[in-house]
Amino acid sequence: MSNIWIKRAAWSGAIGVGLAGLVWFAWPRPTLVDVATVARGPMEVTVDDDGKTNVRHVYTVSAPVAGKVLRISHPTGEQGPSLHVGDEVVANQTVIALMQPALPSFIDVRSHDQLAAEVLAADAAIQQQEAEVKRLEAALDFSRTEFQRAETLSRTQSISVQAFDKAKFDVATNDASLASARAQVEVRRALRASLAARLIDPAGVPPSAEPTCCVRVLAPASGRVLKIVQDSEATVLPGAPLVEIGNPLDLEIVADLLSTDAVQIKVGALVRIDGWGGSTIKGKVVRVDPAGFLKVSALGIEEQRVRVTIDFVDPPEAWSRLGHDYRVIVHIVTWSGDDALTVPVSALFRKGDDWAVFVIENGRAQTTIVKIGHRNNRIAEGVAGLPAGTQVVVHPSDRVSDRTRVAQRPTQ
C-alpha cells in the first residue's frame, strides 16, 4: 500500500515540475533594450561640411607677349630657368620663365608661289627705280651745266633774270627728284627683303641659343611656387598662365555650405577643424559671402551653396603641415550651452506632430511627450517633459510599445 502512495506522489511531483516548467517558458519575458540617461552638461550645435585650404593671395604669372616659352621645370644645366613646385622665389629677382620669338607659320604651295612672284616683281621695280635714278642723275648734271653757263652770261648781263632763275630752279628740282628716287630705291629694296624673309622655311631656322635674346619673366612677389601651369615648352598667347606663386603660411579655409546652413552662421563663430591627418585645430569665421551659387552634388542634385571663409586661431606651428588646396572638415558652432538638459537623438520618435520618448518606469516603457530645443546629430536639448536622471530607451524597435515590459541589455 505504501508503495502505491509513493508512486502516486512521485508522479504528482513530476507532473507539477512539468507544469511549472511550461508556465515558466510561456510566461512573457521583458524586451531587452538599450538605455540612456537624461543628463545635464555642455552642448553645442555645429554645421559640418568639407572645406579646403587656400592661399589667401595667389599670384598667377602670365605670358607678357606671344611667343615660345622654354621648359620651366627641367634638369639643371639646360637652357632657361629650373623651377619646381615648392621652390622659393624672390620678387623682381627670380626668373620664372624665358620666352623666345615664335617661329613663323608654314607656307603652302600657293602662298609660296605668290610670294616668289612678288619677289620677282620687287626686283623689277628696283631695276626700274634704279634706271629712274640714273635718268635723274643725268638731268641733274645737265641742269648744273646749264646753270654754270647762266652764271657766266649773267656777269656780262647777256641773259635775262628770268632765264637765270629758271636754270637755278632746274638744278634744285632735279636734285630733289634724285633724292626722292634714291629713297624709292631703298623702299623697294626693303619691300623685297620683307617678301624674301617670308619665303624662308621655318623648319630650317635653328633656335636661338642665347638666353639674353629672350624675354625674361620675373616673379611679381616673394613666396613659393604653388603650381606650374605650363611646364613644357610651348607657343603661348599673351596672358596665358605659366606659374602660380603664393605664401604657404598665408592660409585660409574656404567651405561651400548649403544656404540653409549659412544663414545660421555669424562672423566670428568658433570653428573646429579636423579630418586633415593631424590634431584638431581652432579657427573662426571671418566672412560669409552675401551671394550664393549653384553647385551640383555627387548625386547629381542641384544645391544652392554659399562660400564661408575661415581663419586659423591656433599658431602656425599647429597647422604648418597643411598646404594649398588641402581637404579638411570644418565644424562651425552655431549655438552652445554649458548646462543643457540633453537627451540622445536616437531615443526620439514622432507621435503625431510631437516628439516622444519611451521612459522606463517600474520596468515598463512609458510613452512620454517631450519638447526639444536645439539639436545636433547626437543629442537634443530637452525643454520640457523630462527631468534629469530619467532613463529612456535608445533605438526602440517595433517590439517596444506603451507599457511593454523592458530590461536593459547587458553591455559586452
184-203 per-position pLDDT tens digit: 999 999 998 988 887 876 65
Mean model confidence pLDDT for the chain: 85
Give the amino acid at 144.
Answer: R
Place of cell 652770261: 153
pLDDT above 90 (res 251): yes
CATH 2.40.30.170 domain residues, the chain: 46-54+250-338
Percent of the chain with pLDDT strictly greater than 70: 88
Banded pLDDT at 48 (limits 50, 70, 90):
very high
Any idea what DSSP says for residue 141?
H
Nearest to 51 by CA among 297, 314, 331, 265: 331
pLDDT above 60 (res 67): yes
Please write the tens of the pLDDT for every residue from 81-114: 788 888 899 999 998 988 888 777 777 788 888 8
Q: What value, to the nearest 5°, has the Cα angle with vertex 370 and ends 365 and 372?
A: 135
Tell me the pairing of strands 251-258 and 39-55: antiparallel
- DSSP structure string for 11-37: HHHHHHHHHHHHHHHHSPPPEEEEEEE
Backbone angles phi, psi at 186, to 5 degrees: -65, -40
Please write the tens of the pLDDT for every residue from 384-393: 778 888 899 9
CATH architecture of the domain with residue range 61-103+210-246: Beta Barrel (2.40)
- Give the integer Cα–Cα distance in Å for 392 and 9: 50
Distances (CA, A) of 408 to 47, 180, 392, 395, 402: 34, 115, 10, 12, 16
3-state secondary structure of 382: strand
pLDDT score of 252: 95
3-state secondary structure 66-104: CEEECCCCCCCCCCCCCCCCCCEECCCCCEEEEEECCCC
Banded pLDDT at 45 (limits 50, 70, 90):
very high
pLDDT score of 231: 86
Nearest to 328 by CA among 261, 260, 256: 256
Instruction: Find the range with the poorest average confidence among 103-112, 160-169, 283-292.
Output: 103-112
Q: Domain 46-54+250-338: give its CATH superfamily.
A: Efflux pump adaptor protein, beta barrel domain (2.40.30.170)
Percent of the chain with pLDDT strictly greater than 90: 38
Rounded to whole angstroms, the maximal C-alpha distance in the chain is: 200
CATH 1.10.287 domain residues, the chain: 109-199
Backbone angles phi, psi at 171, to 5 degrees: -65, -50
Fold assignment, 31-41+339-408? 2.40.420
C-alpha cell at 29: 519575458
| Cβ atoms of 325 and 250 closer than 8 Å | no
Is this structure's pTM higher than 0.85? no
Burial zone of 163 (CB within 10 Å; 0-12 exposed, 13-18 middle, 19+ buried): middle
Fold assignment, 109-199? Helix Hairpins (1.10.287)
CATH 2.40.420.20 domain residues, the chain: 31-41+339-408
Banded pLDDT at 280 (limits 50, 70, 90):
very high
| Cβ atoms of 375 and 344 closer than 8 Å | no
Higher pLDDT, 203 or 272: 272
CATH 2.40.50.100 domain residues, the chain: 61-103+210-246
Nearest to 195 by CA among 101, 124, 128: 124
- Give the integer Cα–Cα distance in Å for 38 and 387: 7
- Give the integer Cα–Cα distance in Å for 409 and 401: 17
Q: What value, to the nearest 5°, has the Cα angle with vertex 193 and ends 192 and 197?
A: 120
| Cβ atoms of 318 and 281 closer than 8 Å | yes
- Give the integer Cα–Cα distance in Å for 169 and 188: 29
Give the amino acid at 106.
Answer: F
Higher pLDDT, 357 or 109: 357
Banded pLDDT at 9 (limits 50, 70, 90):
low
The number of beta carbons lying within 10 Å of the beta carbon of residue 162 is: 8
pLDDT score of 211: 45
Sign of the dihedral through C-alpha 252, 254, 260, 261: negative
| Cβ atoms of 238 and 64 closer than 8 Å | yes
Banded pLDDT at 146 (limits 50, 70, 90):
confident
